Amino acid sequence: VENPAWWTSAVVYQIYPRSFADSDGDGIGDLPGIRGRLDHLADLGVDVVWLSPVYRSPQDDNGYDISDYQDIDPAFGTLADMDGLIADAHARGIKVVMDLVVNHTSDEHPWFVESRSSTTNPKRDWYWWRDAREGMDAGDPGAQPTNWESFFSGPAWELDETTGQYYLHLFSRKQPDLNWENPQVRQAVHEMMRWWLDRGVDGFRMDVINMISKVPDLPDGPPIPGTPYGDGTVATFFGPRLHEFLAEMHREVFAGRDADLITVGEMPGATVEQARLVTDPARAELDMVFQFEHVQLDQGDSKWDRRPLRLTDLKASLGRWQAGLADVGWNSLYWDNHDQPRAVSRFGDDSPAHRRDSATCLATLLHGHRGTPYVYQGEEIGMANSTWADVRDFRDIESLNHFADATARGQDPDDVLAALRPTSRDNARTPVQWDDSPHAGFTTGEPWLAVNPDHVDWNVAAQRDDPHSVLAHHRALIALRHENRTVQLGAFDMLLPDHEDVYAYTRTSDDETLLVVCNVSGIPHPLAELLPEAVEAEVLLGNRDHLPDHDPAVLGPWDARILRTA
Ligand code: ISL
């Protein structure tokens, strides 16, 4: 690569502002809270901060339902706070990326308020309005215009009494989908994006951006067994005009300034081939995408049904993405975000004996790949899934809707609760654990979502000066990416594809070969037999080499090493 983009050596840190740091004691994290904790991010060494939405919002989906794209929600602060945050971050060399949620707005956005007011309103066509299914009356069971299920349970259509038509909402009924077929919609979005870039924002993470183009006649989807619904994703994921819309956005918003920016599109259902098109620099669409294959490998029939991850499946998947985007395009690398349960609980082992080592092992495995790593708040200290005694402990609309829906359909509430515990998005959303004080240093008030009781042992303050902490390990991984060109750009080759416990690969550049070897299990494995060249190799970074029982020839439980073999 001649002139690699700056983000090929960058690490991004995701903040979920609601749960990061509360400055005013209302129990909700806010922008001044973030400003007060920027030194933690500078100390970690991240290059970019991505903020989940802070725009004005009724908070039906914690800000992913926006009622004013050009204002800050009072719960988070003001535009002046945002300007101050951008300035403070820039002063530390940290870029700021905003979440761009433009597949849908809030139903309280003035655009939708106008659109719903009459069938002849000039903004009627800014959203997807349809009559009841032919031959049926509006409001009749099954009369929705298509058979699609919303991602948040129930039908994807809501009848609006004002005009007797239905509107489309792939997510909650308070998140109506914008109609990107209408050029006015696209222009309004572009204008808003330019306004933020002019304000100093350094890029966007684009929420479900692969859903903005729909198959225009909105066909029914194939039936989903056991439900009255059909799968609408065939008509809503990667629709016919997606690439056109992204290229147009690039021309209208990013052209001329994109060298300093970073754009990442969240794309559920993305295949390698689609991601390759979207991230091919010659096509000028986006820099990288978030794909979901690797976080669905432990799913059964639905996201509420979990089975153990088979490491061989993970290797096959991540390996295919590494190969597919090797010459063209770029990967983003993540385990955790605000929608996923905590990786250390899900793919690692959060029991006291293995929590530190499995958290550092997973981080090493991920950060060694080619791509841009994303660290989700709390991941850097090994935050784990929380404890949920009762359905009333949850706050997430997806979890609460699922509980109501599944129990209404006759499932045993205890079973539904048991399925929610390891899967709920709220596992990712408990407040950041800054210290061992009653609310973990997150707030002086009552937190909006209970702090994980384990914060007494797992918190930033306890790890900051510990050279072997999960935090210190992340710091080292980030520093290594900054200084090592092979980590940034070296070719990726998977080793031992059939081994059930050991994940190993090389990264190769003209100068050197790095070997990353991770024991993704609590059972020791004979490294001398598996990869003899690893035993004597120079250790760039290990997670267990300080332990008295460490043996270079044996991979201990959750042992992870980055080695230089040539
Ligand atoms: O069900 C899914 C698709 O198969 C999910 O992956 C879903 O599409 C994904 O979680 C989308 O998430 C994003 O958009 C949502 C919001 O609730 C999430 O927090 C956000 O990350 C709606 O804006």
Q: How far, in Å, CA of 228 to CA of 269, rounded?
A: 22
Residue 101 CA: which ligand 1 atom is closest? 23
Instruction: Please tell me the residue having the least CA distance from ligand 1 atom 10.
Output: 339
C-alpha 150 – ligand 1 centre gap (Å): 11
Known catalytic residue: 260? no
Instruction: Please tell me the residue having the least CA distance from ligand 1 atom 15.
Output: 64
Q: How far, in Å, CA of 65 to CA of 67, rounded?
A: 7
State the pairing for strand pair 502-508/513-519.
Answer: antiparallel
Q: How far, in Å, CA of 344 to CA of 458, rounded?
A: 13
C-alpha 272 – ligand 1 centre gap (Å): 19
Residue 103 CA: which ligand 1 atom is closest? 23
CA-nearest of 217, 274, 290, 278 to 249 is 278
Element (H, E) at 26: none
Number of H helices, E strands in the chain: 19, 20
User: What is the model's pTM?
Assistant: 0.98
Task: Tokens 């502002």: give the residue.
Answer: 17
Residue 198 carries which side chain, given as an amino acid letter? D
Residue 64 CA: which ligand 1 atom is closest? 23
C-alpha 256 – ligand 1 centre gap (Å): 31
Give the pLDDT of residue 559.
98
Q: What is the dihedral of CA 164, 166, 167, 171, to 10 degrees?
A: 130
**Pocket lined around ligand 1, Cβ cut-off 6 Å:** 61, 64, 101, 151, 171, 207-208, 266, 268, 292, 338-339
Neighbours of 493 (CB within 10 A): 16
Residue 171 CA: which ligand 1 atom is closest? 22
Residue 104 CA: which ligand 1 atom is closest? 23
pLDDT tens, position by position, for the chain (566 residues)?
A: 668 999 999 999 999 999 999 999 999 999 999 999 999 999 999 999 999 999 999 999 999 999 999 999 999 999 999 999 999 999 999 999 999 999 999 999 999 999 999 999 999 999 999 999 999 999 999 999 999 999 999 999 999 999 999 999 999 999 999 999 999 999 999 999 999 999 999 999 999 999 999 999 999 999 998 889 999 999 999 999 999 999 999 999 999 999 999 999 999 999 999 999 999 999 999 999 999 999 999 999 899 999 999 999 999 999 999 999 999 999 999 999 999 999 999 999 999 999 999 999 999 999 999 999 999 999 999 999 999 999 999 999 999 999 999 999 999 999 999 999 999 999 999 999 999 999 999 999 999 999 999 999 999 999 999 999 999 999 999 999 999 999 999 999 999 999 999 999 999 999 999 999 999 999 999 999 999 999 999 999 999 999 998 999 999 999 999 999 99
Instruction: Please tell me the residue having the least CA distance from ligand 1 atom 11.
Output: 208
Walk across the sheet containing 203-206 and list its strands: 288-290, 262-266, 203-206, 95-100, 48-51, 12-15, 372-376, 332-333
Instruction: Please tell me the residue having the least CA distance from ligand 1 atom 19.
Output: 339
C-alpha 531 – ligand 1 centre gap (Å): 40
SS3 160: strand
Mutation choice for ligand 1 from 208, 395, 399, 400, CB with most ligand atoms inside 8 A: 208
Beta bridge partners of 15: 51
Mutation choice for ligand 1 from 55, 65, 98, 207, CB with most ligand atoms inside 8 A: 207
Chain centroid to CA 180: 24
- Whole-angstrom CA distances from 404 to 185, 396, 400 are 34, 12, 6
Terminal-residue alpha carbon distance, the chain: 21
Q: Which of 60, 149, 160, 207 is catalytic?
A: 207
H helix runs in 259-338, sequence order: 272-279, 311-324
C-alpha 383 – ligand 1 centre gap (Å): 22
Q: How far, in Å, CA of 259 to CA of 7, rounded?
A: 10
- Whole-angstrom CA distances from 83 to 87, 199, 263, 376, 414 are 6, 7, 20, 23, 47
- Whole-angstrom CA distances from 175 to 55, 112, 114, 169, 193 are 14, 10, 15, 6, 20
Put residue 89 in one of left, alpha, beta given phi > 0 → left and psi -120 to 50 → alpha.
alpha
Q: Which of 65, 73, 149, 266 is catalytic?
A: 266
Known catalytic residue: 266? yes
Give the pLDDT of residue 3.
87
Instruction: Please tell me the residue having the least CA distance from ligand 1 atom 8.
Output: 268
Residue 542 contacts residue 554 (beta carbons within 8 Å): no
- Three-state secondary structure readout of 269-280: CCCHHHHHHHHC
Q: How far, in Å, CA of 350 to CA of 348, rounded?
A: 6
Mutation choice for ligand 1 from 59, 153, 171, 425, CB with most ligand atoms inside 8 A: 171
C-alpha 52 – ligand 1 centre gap (Å): 12
Here the ipTM equals 0.94
| Domains, the chain | 110-168 (3.90.400.10), 490-564 (2.60.40.1180)
Q: How far, in Å, CA of 229 to CA of 34, rounded?
A: 42
Two structure tokens written together for 380: 């850097």
Instruction: Please tell me the residue having the least CA distance from ligand 1 atom 4.
Output: 268
Instruction: Please tell me the residue having the least CA distance from ligand 1 atom 16.
Output: 64
Instruction: Please tell me the residue having the least CA distance from ligand 1 atom 1.
Output: 151
C-alpha 208 – ligand 1 centre gap (Å): 7
C-alpha 457 – ligand 1 centre gap (Å): 31
C-alpha 466 – ligand 1 centre gap (Å): 36
Residue 170 CA: which ligand 1 atom is closest? 22
Helix 183-198 × helix 242-249 angle, to 10° = 40
Give the pLDDT of residue 236.
98
C-alpha 403 – ligand 1 centre gap (Å): 18
Tens of pLDDT, residue by residue over 273-298, are 999 999 999 999 999 999 999 999 99
Give the pLDDT of residue 226.
86
Instruction: Please tell me the residue having the least CA distance from ligand 1 atom 7.
Output: 268
Give the pLDDT of residue 34.
99
Tens of pLDDT, residue by residue over 208-234, are 999 999 999 999 999 998 889 999 999
Residue 397 CA: which ligand 1 atom is closest? 17
Give the pLDDT of residue 1.
61
Residue 152 CA: which ligand 1 atom is closest? 1
Mutation choice for ligand 1 from 54, 64, 305, CB with most ligand atoms inside 8 A: 64
